[in-house]
């Protein structure tokens, strides 16, 4: 099997639960995976490691079919946090569409002038300063691969944000009001 | 007198802590003195003579500066006295704020400087010189100038005599080497140091490659390259298309919104105006209708009133007729006919009664006189006849009169009736004729209207407006067609112009490249020739001469050509020295030019060629840059124009499209209006036709009525005639009958009288004859009288009835016909008024219906306007959209809008919703597009901090402009240029750097050769010192070399105008490779963290020293070679060798007639024999050592001069010579 030379780098990123987005600094890796037969080749290659290489809209990630319930629960917990974060960003003037650049100070300023946003932010982080709160949630999204930090103050929304959007769109609210994730 | 040039003496006057010291140093010199006695101060001053650089003297930054420490007073001087073959001169250094030099053409004379134990100020010193006619130079103000003079490199000939040596352009190496040796206090000699010395000796600062700059340029290039690469990504191209589509859509929506807002504003104002106007009109119509109704009601009332009278009259007539009928029946029941007949006989009866009574009286009164009797009888009879005749004639007269009266009455009645009939008919006929005339006029009107309708232009205003629009569109269309043709032609010609420019540039470029290439090739060939010569020169005759025959240029060089000089097979041998003859023949070669060139000249020539190649390369780059810039400028201008034109064409296309749609719409509208017009015409014509038909019918009816009336008149007249004639005939008949009756009565009575007369005659005769009386006769008479009396009595009894009858007859029965006629007339009048009224009613109904319709239409319009305004106020004004469009809605002029206010509001809201939907997509696309580029990408695809609607639109407009002006091409050209320039810069810098490689190797070779001579044959201390160079291990250098190689391999192919051209596969491979190489280089620079690549990075240097049994092997640094002394010795040997080599390299290749000093401090640990050997080693190389020793020892005996430092009672340092100038053998 003639896998691309960037395979270890790809594996290192994806196996940490991160995404490879086409619009990020690792865009070259995205191109490598997308190039001709590489996707199927790598999918096959990685299948031996227990990971399944998945393709989203302009992003790649690993999924694990057999996961322990505990890990899944943790992931769900994490996901509920992401939903709140997405809710926070979606309430802003600039919606978190792919490629959008956020400046921490700018978000903090908006929170100062928007009480609703401020309340949402308060519930998301326990840091003291507004700027630190914003930086914390932006950092969390960056760690997960949904954002990318471009400089000290600027974060860019990655293609992987589609993953969050898709999963959120899959949530159905049943009649008794209980939320369920299919 | 020295036979060489050397720094002979150094004199301190008021320098540092010395008031005056003069130290002779024209040989190996040793300074002995404990620490802090001023050894180093003096050594530094000596170094300053060679380096003339106050900073490179090893004075730390915490110490006083050289100027401040040495030159504390205005009369502080350092005097350097130089010995030459011709004598002595000296250099005075003094300070006047900064340091200055003066060259003085005499030995140092203390009196010139010190007078009465006091040092003079420079001005006074110059005065002294003048006094003593000592020549001195101008004030030399810069160190550089001083160095040039000392090292014999000053172009001014008058300073030539002050040169210590004849240095070349690289003389700087000498002071550098001396300084380096002095400053190199480290105990370890690192290859780096030697490398640096070599580098310094052969290169200037300009040859180093600043990696920071290169890295910055590379980063800039790769970032820009990446930007362009990102731009060309398929998804970005698609997204930019989407953005532009979105933008166009949004713009259209905005335009539509503005138009709709304007229309809405206009419609609102129009509605407000119309609301008032229509309200007034509606009110007027309502009033009109009310008035019409009132008028009609009044007429109805009048009509009713009129009919009521007639009806009443008819009722009265009817009752009269009824009464007449009833009375007549009563009279008939009472036998009025018989009674009337009997009444008519009454006078006859009365006469009859009188006659009978008379007869009876006569008969009964006497029989006496029969004659008398009979006479009386006869007289009575005659009287009776006469009376009867008279009565009859009276009766006849009465009858005749009655007849005539009746006849006249009848005629009068007839006339009256006839005239009445005629009058009535004339009135009716007149009315109908008037009606007929009215109808005729109406018909004419209708016909005129019909004609008018047939020619009328319906909806002329709308049609005219539409036709105007269509005409405008047609005009615009033709204008546009010509404008499009012009623009397309312009684009074509611009394209051709562009092609022409490109083609012209390509040809020029090719020609230039070809020419450049040829020149480079020829220069390289010449270089190769020189290289070849230089490669073999050592083994050829040339090499032999260089080595064994100094100044051979002046002799052999003038008679040998290069072929002989570089021939390796001549095996030259010098048979005898000093004979200047050619195969025994002496030649005067003073006027013969030198054929051969010196090694330096060859090198100079070669470097000249190289310089020329560099110039050519630079020229090529400049040319290409200039050409590229020029081409870009021209193409950009063309592109801009083209883009502008394309934009205009697009605009025209858009307008054409819009116009086409409008034309269709207008066409449809026009068709619609025409259809409506035709429908309206048809409807109107039908109405007119209907009216005409109605009128015709009515006219026919009127005519018929007139005819009927005529007929009726005729009939009635004939009937009247008939009645009249009947009545007349009846009257005449009655009259005739009466007359006849009277005549017959007369005849009867006359006959009766005649008969009675006869009878009476007979009776008289009888009586006369018989005289007797007859009673039967009396009785009969009596009965007749009684009957007559009974009849008269009966007549009297019925006289009242007859009177009543006669009255009734006169008042009623005779007027029945009149009554009937009257009744009929009245009934006819009622019919006529009814008829008239029905016409009026019809007209009223029609008018009312029309007014109702008009009023309804107006109310409908009013309702529309009111509803529209209400809708606007209730459902639109409260929205933010209204606030946004207020500036457009409010100032719009009043205008009717087909869609209506509600429709416009709905359209605006729908438009706004569509706008927001589109804008969301638009914003997302822009975010995604811009997000793919670096935040500070050079293509400027950035969304500003505010990120508002305007910012996204600005972005799209910029993107549009970017595409239309094809700015990417400019960017590509710039990047390609920077790419080419980068590669060229790297390549040329590398070339400049690697040019030194030969010299490095040569220098290393020379050093090695020099080291081989330093074997210290006497002591055999050092077996050998070896030096070798290896290829550099510097990774950055390797990458740079790869780029240079790449440049060599593809001299004219790489980095041309378009780096992103995929049409030429071979070229695109080359471009790709070059970009990769640059990327590699950038990465390596970042990883390695070198700041620059210098000459010393070109090679690695290795030492190998064998001392006794110690062999260091190939090492990079000489740390410890044997004992301390040995170590020091070895290092000193290396230093001296280096200096020697540098001097050789930096001075003209003439017989060396100068010495320099090598200052090495602290040499106390070297053993005496080794020191001696070292001194010899230096001396062989015309280098005098200046060493420092802390303490006196036997070592100082090996020096030509030894000085001891001590302080006098004033604390001034004194330098005292220790030994005489004798050197131990």
Are B1067 and B1162 members of one domain?
no
Are B1090 and B1209 members of one domain?
no
Range of the domain at B1091: 208-233+966-1100
Q: Alpha-carbon distance B382 to B376, whole Å?
A: 9
- Within-domain flag for B1153: yes
Regarding predicted confidence, which is higher, B186 or A93? A93
For chains A and B, count residue pairs whose Cβ atoms are closer than 8 Å.
Answer: 39
- Within-domain flag for B284: no
Tell me which chain B residues have a C-beta less than 8 angstroms from the C-beta of A23: 928, 931-932
Contact indicator for A98, B235 with CB cutoff of 8 Å: no
CB atoms A98 and B930 under 8 Å: no
Of A22, A27, A99, the CB nearest to B930: A99
Tell me which chain B residues have a C-beta less than 8 angstroms from the C-beta of A27: 932
CA distances B355 to B237, B359, B377, B385, Å, are: 159, 6, 11, 11
Residue B470 has pLDDT above 80, yes or no: yes
Rounded to the nearest angstrom, the minimum Cα separation between B920 and chain A is: 10
Task: Dump pLDDT digits (tens) for B2-60.
Answer: 678 899 999 999 888 888 888 988 888 888 887 777 888 888 899 999 988 888 788 88
Distance of CA B897 to the CA centre of its chain: 28
Instruction: Sheet with B1099-1107: list strands edge to edge.
Output: B1022-1031, B1099-1107, B1110-1111
Of A27, A97, A103, the CB nearest to B927: A97
Interface probe with B: pick from A21, A96, A101, most Cβ of B within 10 Å: A101
Q: Alpha-carbon distance B706 to B110, whole Å?
A: 170
Over residues B560-577, the mean pLDDT reads 79
Given B1040, B1066, B1100, which residue is the final one in a domain?
A: B1100
Task: Dump pLDDT digits (tens) for B328-368.
Answer: 888 888 888 888 888 877 888 888 888 878 877 777 665 55
Residue B404 has pLDDT above 90, yes or no: no
Q: What is the CATH number of the domain that holds B85?
A: 3.40.50
Can you say whether the dihedral through the CA atoms of B831, B836, B841, B842 is positive or negative? positive
What is the token pair recorded at A40? Answer: 């199927």
Indicate the pLDDT class of residue B1062, thresholds 50, 70 and 90: low
- B955 close to A (CB below 8 A): no
- B231 close to A (CB below 8 A): no
CB atoms B924 and A98 under 8 Å: yes
B580: left (phi over 0), alpha (psi -120 to 50) or beta: beta
Are B1095 and B1194 members of one domain?
no
Burial B732-748 (b: 16+ CB within 10 A, else e): eeebeebbeebeebbee
- Within-domain flag for B49: yes
Highest mean pLDDT among B564-573, B637-646, B842-851, B1013-1022 belongs to: B842-851
* Domain tally, chain B: 2
Q: Give the pairing type, strands B1183-1189 and B29-32.
A: parallel
Are B11 and B127 members of one domain?
yes
Task: Find the residue in A nearest to B934 (Cα).
Answer: A150
Q: Alpha-carbon distance B99 to B1130, whole Å?
A: 38
Indicate the pLDDT class of residue A93, thresholds 50, 70 and 90: confident
- B436 close to A (CB below 8 A): no
- Within-domain flag for B156: yes
Three-state DSSP state, B119: strand
Residue B1224 has pLDDT above 50, yes or no: no
pLDDT of residue A10: 92
Contact indicator for B1115, B1102 with CB cutoff of 8 Å: yes
Of A93, A95, A99, the CB nearest to B931: A99
Over residues A73-93, the mean pLDDT reads 88
- Within-domain flag for B1190: yes
Q: Pick from B189, B145, B176, B144: which is nearest to B47 by CA? A: B176
Tell me which chain B residues have a C-beta less than 8 angstroms from the C-beta of A94: 947
Report chain A residues touching chain B, CB-CB < 8 A.
Answer: 22-23, 27, 58, 93-95, 97-101, 103, 106, 150-151, 154, 156-157
- Within-domain flag for B500: no
Task: Dump pLDDT digits (tens) for B572-608.
Answer: 877 776 677 777 787 777 777 777 777 777 877 887 8
Q: Pick from B962, B965, B976: which is nearest to B933 by CA? A: B962
- Within-domain flag for B736: no
Q: Domain map of chain A by residue range?
A: 7-63, 69-179
pLDDT of residue B309: 86
Contact indicator for B1011, B1024 with CB cutoff of 8 Å: yes
- B923 close to A (CB below 8 A): yes
Q: By percentage, how much of chain B surpasses pLDDT 90? A: 7
Are B1135 and B1193 members of one domain?
yes
Over residues B1108-1134, the mean pLDDT reads 75
Of A95, A99, A151, the CB nearest to B928: A99
Rounded to the nearest angstrom, the minimum Cα separation between A68 and chain B is: 36
Q: Alpha-carbon distance B222 to B978, whole Å?
A: 10
Distance of CA B1044 to the CA centre of its chain: 48
What is the token pair recorded at B614? Answer: 């560099």
Tell me which chain A residues have a C-beta less than 8 angstroms from the C-beta of B927: 97-100, 157
Task: Dump pLDDT digits (tens) for B488-513.
Answer: 998 889 888 888 888 888 888 888 87
Given B1067, B1100, B1133, which residue is the final one in a domain?
A: B1100
CB atoms A100 and B945 under 8 Å: no
Are B990 and B1092 members of one domain?
yes
Query: SS3 for chain A, per residue?
Result: CCCCCCHHHHHHHHCCCCCEECCCCCHHHHHHHHCCCHHHHHHHHHHCCCCEEEEECCEEEEECCCCCHHHHHHHHHHHHHHHHHHHHHHCCCCCCCCCCEEEHHHHHHHHHHCHHHHHHHHHHCCCCCHHHHHHHHHHHHHHHCCEEECCCCEEEECCCHHHHHHHHHHCEECCCCCEECC
The hierarchical CATH code for the domain A69-179 is 1.10.10
Given B1037, B1066, B1100, which residue is the final one in a domain?
A: B1100
Task: Find the residue in A nearest to B931 (Cα).
Answer: A99
Place of tokens 């990408």: B937
Q: Alpha-carbon distance B797 to B810, whole Å?
A: 21
Are B1026 and B970 members of one domain?
yes
Place of tokens 């250094």: B93
CB atoms A97 and B930 under 8 Å: no
- Within-domain flag for B1185: yes
Over residues B965-976, the mean pLDDT reads 78
* C-alpha torsion angle, residues B221, B226, B232, B233 (rounded to 10): 170
Over residues B642-667, the mean pLDDT reads 83
* Burial label, A3 (beta-carbon count in 10 A; 0-12, 13-18, 19+): middle
CB atoms A100 and B935 under 8 Å: no
């Amino acid at each position: 099997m003639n896998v691309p030379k960037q395979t270890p780098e790809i594996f290192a990123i994806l196996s940490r639960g991160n995404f490879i987005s086409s619009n990020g600094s690792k865009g070259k890796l995205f191109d490598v995976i997308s190039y001709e037969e590489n996707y199927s080749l790598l999918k096959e290659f990685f299948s031996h490691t227990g990971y399944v290489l998945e393709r989203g809209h302009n992003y790649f990630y690993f999924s694990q079919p057999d996961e322990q319930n505990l890990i899944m629960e943790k992931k769900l917990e994490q996901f509920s946090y992401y939903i709140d974060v997405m809710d926070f960003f979606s309430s802003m003037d600039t919606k978190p569409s792919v490629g959008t650049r956020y400046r921490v100070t700018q978000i903090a300023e908006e929170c100062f002038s928007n009480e609703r946003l401020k309340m949402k932010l308060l519930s998301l982080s326990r840091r003291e300063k507004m700027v630190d709160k914003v930086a914390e949630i932006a950092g969390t999204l960056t760690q997960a691969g949904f954002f990318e930090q471009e400089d000290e103050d600027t974060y860019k929304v990655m293609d992987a944000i589609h993953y969050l959007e898709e999963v959120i769109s899959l949530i159905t609210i049943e009649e008794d009001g209980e939320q369920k994730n299919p | 007198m020295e036979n060489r040039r050397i720094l002979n003496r150094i004199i301190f006057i008021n320098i540092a802590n010395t008031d005056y010291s003069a130290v002779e140093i024209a040989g190996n010199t040793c300074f002995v003195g404990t620490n802090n006695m001023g050894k180093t101060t003096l050594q530094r001053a000596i170094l300053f003579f060679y380096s003339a650089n106050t900073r490179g003297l090893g004075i730390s930054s915490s110490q006083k500066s050289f100027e401040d420490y040495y030159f504390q007073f205005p009369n502080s001087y350092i005097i350097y006295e130089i010995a030459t073959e011709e004598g002595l001169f000296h250099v005075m250094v003094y300070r006047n704020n900064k340091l200055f030099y003066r060259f003085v053409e005499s030995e140092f004379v203390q009196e010139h400087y010190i007078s009465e134990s006091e040092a003079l100020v420079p001005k006074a010193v110059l005065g002294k010189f003048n006094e003593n006619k000592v020549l001195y130079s101008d004030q030399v103000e810069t160190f550089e100038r001083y160095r040039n003079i000392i090292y014999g490199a000053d172009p001014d000939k008058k300073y030539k005599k002050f040169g210590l040596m004849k240095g070349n352009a690289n003389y700087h190496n000498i002071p550098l080497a001396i300084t380096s040796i002095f400053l190199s206090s480290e105990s370890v000699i690192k290859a780096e140091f030697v490398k640096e010395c070599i580098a310094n000796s052969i290169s200037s600062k300009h040859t180093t490659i600043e990696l920071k700059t290169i890295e910055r340029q590379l980063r800039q290039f790769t970032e820009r390259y990446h930007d362009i690469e990102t731009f060309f990504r398929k998804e970005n191209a698609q997204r930019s298309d989407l953005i532009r589509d979105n933008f166009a859509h949004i713009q259209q929506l905005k335009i539509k919104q503005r138009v709709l807002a304007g229309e809405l504003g206009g419609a609102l104002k129009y509605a407000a105006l119309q609301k008032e106007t229509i309200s007034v009109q509606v009110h007027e119509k309502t009033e009109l209708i009310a008035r019409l109704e009132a008028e009609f009601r009044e007429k109805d009332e009048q009509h009713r009133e009129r009919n009521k009278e007639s009806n009443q009259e008819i009722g009265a007539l009817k009752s009269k007729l009824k009464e007449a009928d009833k009375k007549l029946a009563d009279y008939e029941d009472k036998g009025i006919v018989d009674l009337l007949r009997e009444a008519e006989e009454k006078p006859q009866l009365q006469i009859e009664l009188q006659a009978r009574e008379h007869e009876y009286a006569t008969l009964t009164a006497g029989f006496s006189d029969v004659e008398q009797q009979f006479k009386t009888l006869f007289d009575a009879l005659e009287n009776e006849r006469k009376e009867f005749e008279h009565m009859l004639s009276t009766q006849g007269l009465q009858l005749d009169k009655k007849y005539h009266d009746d006849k006249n009455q009848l005629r009068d009645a007839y006339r009256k009736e006839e005239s009445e009939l005629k009058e009535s008919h004339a009135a009716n006929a007149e009315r109908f004729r008037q009606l007929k005339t009215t109808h005729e006029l109406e018909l004419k009107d209708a016909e005129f209207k019909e004609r008018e309708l047939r020619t009328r232009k319906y909806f002329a205003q709308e049609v005219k407006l539409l036709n105007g629009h269509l005409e405008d569109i047609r005009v615009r269309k033709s204008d546009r067609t010509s404008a499009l043709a012009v623009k397309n032609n312009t684009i074509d010609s611009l394209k051709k112009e562009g092609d022409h420019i490109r083609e012209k540039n390509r040809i020029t470029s090719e020609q230039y490249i070809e020419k450049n290439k040829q020149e480079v090739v020829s220069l390289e060939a010449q270089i190769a020739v020189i290289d070849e010569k230089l490669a073999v020169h050592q083994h050829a005759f040339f090499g032999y001469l260089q080595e064994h025959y100094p100044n051979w240029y002046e002799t052999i060089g003038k008679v040998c050509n290069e072929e002989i000089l570089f021939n390796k097979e001549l095996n030259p041998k010098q048979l005898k020295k000093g004979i200047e003859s050619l195969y025994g023949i002496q030649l005067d070669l003073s006027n013969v030019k030198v054929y051969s060139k010196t090694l330096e000249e060859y090198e100079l020539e070669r470097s000249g060629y190289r310089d020329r190649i560099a110039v050519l390369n630079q020229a090529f780059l400049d040319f290409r840059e200039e050409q590229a810039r020029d081409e870009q400028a021209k193409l950009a201008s063309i592109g801009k124009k083209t883009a502008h034109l394309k934009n205009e064409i697009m605009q025209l296309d858009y307008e054409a499209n819009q116009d086409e749609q409008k034309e269709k719409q207008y066409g449809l509208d026009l068709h619609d209006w025409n259809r409506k017009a035709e429908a309206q015409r048809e409807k109107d014509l039908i109405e007119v036709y209907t009216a005409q038909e109605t009128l015709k019918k009515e006219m026919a009816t009127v005519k018929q009525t007139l005819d009927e009336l005529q007929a009726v008149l005729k009939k009635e007249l004939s009937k009247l005639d008939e009645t009249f004639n009947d009545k007349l005939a009846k009257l005449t008949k009655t009259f005739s009958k009466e007359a006849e009756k009277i005549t017959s009565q007369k005849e009867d009575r006359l006959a009766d009288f005649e008969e009675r007369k006869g009878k009476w005659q007979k009776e008289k005769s009888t009586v006369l004859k018989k005289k007797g009386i007859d009673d039967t006769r009396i009785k009969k008479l009596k009965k007749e009288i009684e009957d007559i009396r009974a009849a008269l009595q009966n007549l009297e009894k019925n006289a009242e009835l007859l009177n009543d009858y006669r009255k009734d007859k006169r008042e009623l029965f005779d007027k029945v016909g009149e009554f009937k006629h009257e009744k009929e007339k009245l009934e006819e009048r009622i019919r006529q008024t009814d008829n008239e009224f029905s016409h009026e009613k019809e007209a009223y109904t029609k008018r009312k219906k029309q007014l109702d319709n008009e009023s309804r239409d107006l109310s409908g319009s009013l309702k529309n306007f009111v509803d529209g305004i209400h809708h606007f106020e209730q459902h639109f004004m409260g929205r933010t959209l209204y606030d946004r469009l207020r500036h457009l809605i409010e100032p719009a002029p009043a205008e009717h809008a087909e869609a209506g206010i509600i429709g416009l509001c709905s359209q605006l809201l729908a438009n706004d919703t569509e706008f927001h939907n589109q804008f969301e997509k638009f914003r997302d696309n822009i975010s995604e597009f811009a997000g793919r580029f670096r935040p500070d990408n050079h293509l400027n695809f950035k969304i500003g901090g505010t990120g508002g609607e305007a910012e996204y639109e600005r972005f799209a407009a910029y993107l549009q402009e970017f595409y239309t002006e094809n700015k990417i091409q400019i960017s590509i050209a710039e990047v390609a240029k920077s790419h080419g320039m980068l590669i060229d810069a790297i390549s040329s810098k590398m070339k400049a750097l690697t040019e030194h490689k030969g010299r490095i190797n040569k220098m290393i070779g020379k050093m090695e050769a020099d080291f081989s001579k330093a074997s210290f044959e006497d002591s055999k201390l050092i077996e050998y010192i070896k030096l070798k160079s290896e290829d550099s291990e510097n990774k950055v250098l390797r990458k740079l070399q790869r780029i240079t190689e790449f440049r060599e391999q593809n001299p004219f192919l790489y980095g041309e105008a378009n780096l992103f051209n995929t049409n030429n596969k071979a070229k695109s491979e080359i471009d790709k490779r070059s970009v990769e190489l640059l990327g590699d280089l950038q990465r390596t620079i970042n990883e390695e963290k070198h700041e620059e690549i210098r000459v010393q990075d070109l090679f690695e240097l290795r030492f190998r020293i064998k001392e006794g049994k110690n062999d260091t092997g190939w090492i990079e640094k000489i740390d410890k070679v044997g004992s301390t002394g040995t170590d020091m010795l070895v290092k000193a040997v290396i230093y001296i060798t280096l200096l020697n080599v540098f001097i050789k390299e930096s001075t003209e290749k003439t017989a060396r007639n100068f010495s320099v000093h090598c200052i090495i401090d602290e040499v106390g640990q070297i053993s005496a024999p080794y020191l001696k050997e070292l001194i010899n080693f230096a001396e062989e190389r015309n280098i005098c050592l200046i060493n420092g020793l802390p303490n006196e020892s036997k070592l100082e005996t090996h020096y030509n001069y030894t000085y001891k430092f001590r302080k006098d009672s004033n604390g001034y340092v004194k330098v005292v010579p220790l030994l005489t100038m004798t050197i131990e053998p």
